[in-house]
């Protein structure tokens, strides 16, 4: 299948999906989310592919966030639908996929990019990678599972700090906190990740699928539903209008406050 925003290749029982929007720093728009969904579903159904790696084109960005211009004028209802559809179509799909999915984080993983990486079963980062959830700087909250998966991975306190400050963490801190499993030089990232995938595919795919299901069973969906509601409600606030307008106008936001 031909894609416009991603590339998908398979070799040695490993499928590699590369987000390919370099002029947008691989930002996620609706078309890219749909193509990722289609490619992941196709590889999951393909008996040849026993592990999947998701990465980004180039050395700057895995995914530098969502495409803000696409939803800056959404209503509350449209915002809630955006989060719910995105979680169902891609992020929950990745987390619950029976085929192992590894994120090879090759640079900036911000907002929806970090949320995509966190939905993967685990992460490997290049040494220049930087990760963060900057949504509150736009007057909104993470809407693709970030408020749930980040504290699950690094703990509540650190997650609150990252979300509230809208700041980024480097690769080594991300490793120390448990956000990524390994940090390697940029040039070695894909080969290193393929090496881990090669170890995985030697084992029973049926057992691995059941293990993924069992681990994920330890987390409930109530928090994700609350995130969807909160994300949607943010679209009706003056803070969201100011935050997204400032971003698109390339200026610092001046929030009106509570």
Quick check: 135 and 145 in contact, CB under 8 A? no
135 catalytically annotated: yes
Quick check: 106 and 46 in contact, CB under 8 A? no
What's the sign of the alpha-carbon dihedral 249, 27, 56, 163? positive
Instruction: List Cβ neighbours of 134 (8 Å cut-off, separation of 6 or more).
Output: 65, 110, 111, 166, 167, 168
Among residues 35, 80, 115, 227, the one annotated as catalytic is 115
Whole-angstrom Cα Rg for the chain: 18
Among residues 4, 35, 77, 135, the one annotated as catalytic is 135
Task: Name beta bridge partners: 6.
Answer: 19
59 catalytically annotated: no
Distance between CA atoms of residues 163 and 214, nearest Å: 28
Distance between CA atoms of residues 78 and 83, nearest Å: 9
Extract the tokens encoding 31.
Answer: 């078309």
**Order of strands across the sheet with 51-56?**
6-11, 14-19, 51-56, 101-105, 122-126, 182-184
Nearest to 68 by CA among 110, 129, 131, 6: 110
Three-state DSSP class for 5? coil
Catalytic positions are 115, 135
């Amino acid at each position: 299948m031909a894609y416009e925003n991603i590339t998908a290749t398979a070799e040695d029982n490993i499928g590699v999906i590369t987000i390919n929007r370099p002029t947008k720093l691989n930002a996620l728009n609706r078309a890219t989310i749909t193509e990722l969904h289609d490619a992941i579903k196709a590889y999951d159904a393909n008996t040849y592919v026993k592990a999947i790696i998701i990465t980004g084109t180039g050395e700057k960005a895995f995914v530098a966030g969502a495409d803000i211009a696409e939803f800056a004028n959404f209503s509350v209802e449209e915002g809630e639908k955006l989060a719910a559809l995105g979680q169902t179509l891609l992020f929950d799909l990745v987390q619950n996929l029976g085929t192992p999915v590894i994120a090879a984080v090759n640079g900036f993983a911000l907002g929806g990019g970090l949320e995509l990486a966190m939905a993967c079963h685990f992460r490997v980062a290049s040494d220049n990678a930087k990760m963060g959830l900057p949504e509150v700087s736009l007057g909104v909250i993470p809407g693709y599972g970030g408020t749930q998966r980040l504290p699950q991975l690094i703990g509540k306190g650190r997650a609150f700090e990252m979300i509230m400050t809208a700041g980024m963490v480097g690769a080594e801190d991300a490793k120390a906190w448990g956000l990524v499993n390994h940090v390697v030089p940029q040039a070695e990232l894909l080969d290193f990740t393929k090496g881990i995938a090669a170890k995985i595919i030697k084992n029973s795919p049926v057992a691995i699928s059941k293990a993924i299901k069992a681990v994920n069973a330890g987390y409930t969906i109530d928090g994700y539903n609350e995130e969807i509601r909160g994300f949607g409600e943010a679209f009706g606030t003056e803070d969201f209008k100011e935050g997204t307008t400032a971003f698109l106008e390339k200026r610092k936001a001046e929030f009106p406050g509570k």
